[in-house]
C-alpha cells in the first residue's frame, strides 16, 4: 500500500487545477482556445462524474456509473486526446 491515501475526489480536484494551470501557460490562438476549453471541461468532469457515482444506490449501480464516465467525457469533448501533430 502506498503511503498516500487513495482519495479520488481530492486527486481529481487537484488534477483539474493542474490542467487549468497548464492551459493558462499555453499560447492563445483560435485552436488553443477551443482545445484548452475542452481540456479544462474534461478535467473538471472527471471529479464531478466520480462524485455522482458515489451517490449510487449500490455496488452494481456504482460500477455502472464508473464505466460510463469515459463515454460521457469522450462524447462531451471529442477533441480531447488530439496532440500537437494535429496543429498546423
Model confidence over 64-88: pLDDT tens digits? 877 777 766 665 555 555 554 554 4
Strand residue runs (E) in the chain: none
Q: d(Cα 84, Cα 88) in Å, to the nearest integer?
A: 8
Q: d(Cα 57, Cα 75) in Å, to the nearest integer?
A: 25
pTM beyond 0.85: the answer is no
Position 18 pLDDT exceeds 90 = yes
Q: Quick one: how far is CA 34 from the chain centroid?
A: 16
Query: For 53-59, what is the mean pLDDT?
Result: 78
Residue-range domain boundaries for the chain? 8-80
pLDDT computed for residue 66 by the predictor: 77
Report helix, strand or coil for 44.
Answer: helix
Amino acid at each position: 500500500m502506498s503511503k498516500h491515501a487513495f482519495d479520488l475526489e481530492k486527486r481529481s480536484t487537484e488534477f483539474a487545477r493542474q490542467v487549468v494551470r497548464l492551459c493558462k501557460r499555453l499560447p492563445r490562438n483560435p485552436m488553443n482556445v477551443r482545445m484548452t476549453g475542452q481540456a479544462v471541461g474534461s478535467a473538471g468532469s472527471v471529479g464531478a462524474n466520480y462524485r455522482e457515482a458515489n451517490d449510487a444506490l449500490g455496488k452494481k449501480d456504482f460500477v455502472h456509473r464508473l464505466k460510463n464516465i469515459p463515454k460521457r467525457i469522450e462524447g462531451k469533448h471529442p477533441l480531447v486526446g488530439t496532440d500537437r501533430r494535429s496543429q498546423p
